[in-house]
Amino acid sequence: MSFDEALARGSDALKQGKLDQAQRSFRIALDQEPGNTRVLALLGLTYFRGNQFDEARPIYEQLVDKAPTDPSHRLNLGLVYLKVNESEKAIGSLEASRALDPSQGRAISYLGLAYARAGRYAEAYRSFLLAGQNELASEIEINLTAPERDGINAQLGRSPRGPVESAAPTAPPYPADAATQPLTIVRTPGQEPPRTKPPSAPPKPGRTPSQEFAQQLSHPEIVIEKLTASSPSVPMVPARSGASIPDAPPVALTPLFSDSMQFILPKSDGAPQVAHDGVSMISQAVAAAAPSTTASAPERTKSGGTPPRPLSELATDELVRPEDGDEPFEIAPNGALVIRVSDRVLTRLDGVHVTGGDLSYEVAMRRSRGHQTEDRFDYGGTPLHSVSGEGYLVAVPGTQTFHAVLLDDDILYLREDLVFAFEASLRWESGNVPGLRGKLPVVQFRGDGALVLRVSRPLVRVKLPAQGVVYVDADRLAGWIGRVIPRAVV
């Protein structure tokens, strides 16, 4: 087998997820051209995708030795060190990568993770702020003294509470008179807090992001939209499980949903979130990252540009594999939503550009008191459809962002226009916020299943106090969790 044939076969096997075959082909290619950096990078990627990090490490170390001034090789090696819990080595590699190319945002984000794992919280806090990971930075902040926090913010020209957000608000999709009325959210007397699951491992000394989130939810919460720009994309992660390894690193690292139904919602430059099982945000973010497939890209041309990429790399970069999984919803590396239908799923169809299999479609109506009404489920956009059969759909987010979340017998109320898709196994009812005379339809979800939100603005969570009232502008309300009493106040 020639070098070119072995490389082509390996690339094709990698594209199909046949990692063992890809590794054999790449090894044959390396036998003929030992030290070929392009083949080494692809071989390292196969081991990374197979969670064989001990095998991937010497390959990336070899790439760094061969091209010590290439920042991408050091970035990938740092990520591998994070995977094998060698935080100090990861810090050294990532710092070197950033020194070679200060513009690398991923190196700064990964550095924040490495610093946090090593217990170097001040450096982690500064890195997250530099990377725009304000949500992660705010969770690290608890480990800092006030002088440490204020000193870092002063160095970066920030206020202690972060930069002033000046993005213009997006116009609400419903009448302006409804948007001008604030809402009162009142906690139901005697209410039990939402059920939580224990974390998968006891928390380590020093609080890293989201390590104890599942234990902190003692009162119900409401969710309101934040007035900032929309968010970029994240790696493909099933809505029912922990993070999987995507084909390319995330543009930015992302906060996540916890199983206790706390909303860990994205900041202005964060990414869509997914359900997980009590794992720390640090571990989840590292698990969701993958080495850059462009690590073996040739050096820049004389004019300062970059030459064409190999087709094999383009074909496997951020690849969406709708037929390979069995989760009902997945968020792809580029932010696209993969919907898998094995019986019936309810979803909107705007933005759906790819379908496969044998599917049938029927417009869905709202439900009230367990019965179907004559009103379409179409507030804020195209109507909801009941999709039956066997197959898949791929929806492109455009300027909006998808969020997949898993309910575990929790009760969730969402504004109808934010609901994009949900499993038919969920119990749901249509309704309205009292006092708004039908101008703000909401949907109650309960049961065991997954659903997908689609938002045009980032979201923040607000915890309700044990006693008292919380006021929320109606045009910023996204929903609430648990049994609370909403009412409009004129």
Instruction: Find the mean pLDDT for residues 86-95.
Output: 91
Kindly report the number of other CB atoms within 10 A of residue 174's CB atom: 20
Type of residue at 127? S
- Angle at the Cα of 206 from the Cα atoms of 204 and 212, rounded to 5 degrees: 65
Banded model confidence at residue 370, pLDDT cuts 50, 70, 90: confident
- Strand 344-348 versus strand 384-395 pairing type: antiparallel
Banded model confidence at residue 422, pLDDT cuts 50, 70, 90: very high
Tell me the sheet residues that pair with 182.
473
Banded model confidence at residue 429, pLDDT cuts 50, 70, 90: very high
**Packing angle between helix 53-66 and helix 37-49, nearest 10 degrees?**
160
State how far the Cα of 210 lies from the Cα of 372, in Å rounded to an integer: 40
Three-class DSSP category at 78? helix
DSSP code, position 404: E
- Which pLDDT value is given to residue 159? 60
Residues 159-203 have pLDDT tens digits of 655 443 333 333 333 333 433 344 444 433 344 434 333 333 333
Tell me the sheet residues that pair with 441.
432
Characterize 86-98 residue by residue with b for buried, 16 or more Cβ atoms within 10 angstroms of its Cβ, and e for exposed: bbebbbbbbebbb
Kindly report the number of other CB atoms within 10 A of residue 308's CB atom: 8
Sign, CA dihedral 453-454-458-459, equals: negative
- Which pLDDT value is given to residue 318? 64
Catalogue all structural domains in the chain, each as residue range(s) with its CATH number: 3-155 (1.25.40.10), 176-297+311-488 (no CATH)
256 and 274 Cβ atoms separated by less than 8 Å = yes
**Packing angle between helix 121-130 and helix 146-155, nearest 10 degrees?**
30
Residues 44-82 have pLDDT tens digits of 889 988 888 899 999 999 999 988 888 888 888 998 998
For residue 215, how far is the Cα from the chain centroid? 21
Q: Could you identify the residue written with the tokens 């939580």?
A: 196
62/465: higher pLDDT: 62
Residues 288-329 have pLDDT tens digits of 555 655 444 445 566 767 777 677 666 656 677 787 777 899
For residue 341, how far is the Cα from the chain centroid? 22
DSSP code, position 174: S
Task: Supply φ then ψ for residue 90, to 5 degrees.
Answer: -60, -40
453 and 420 Cβ atoms separated by less than 8 Å = yes
Cα dihedral: 33, 35, 36, 41 (round 10): 140
Kindly write down the DSSP assignment for every residue of 273-317, as one continuous string: --B-SS--HHHHHHHT----TTTTPPPPPTTS--PPPPHHHHHHT
State how far the Cα of 261 lies from the Cα of 214, in Å rounded to an integer: 9
Does this model's pTM top 0.85? My answer is no
Those residues whose C-beta lies under 8 Å from the C-beta of residue 437, and which sit 6 or more positions away, are none
- Which pLDDT value is given to residue 24? 92
Kindly report the number of other CB atoms within 10 A of residue 85's CB atom: 12
DSSP code, position 171: P
- Which pLDDT value is given to residue 271? 37
Cα dihedral: 334, 479, 452, 51 (round 10): 60
Q: How is residue 8 written in tokens? A: 């082509």
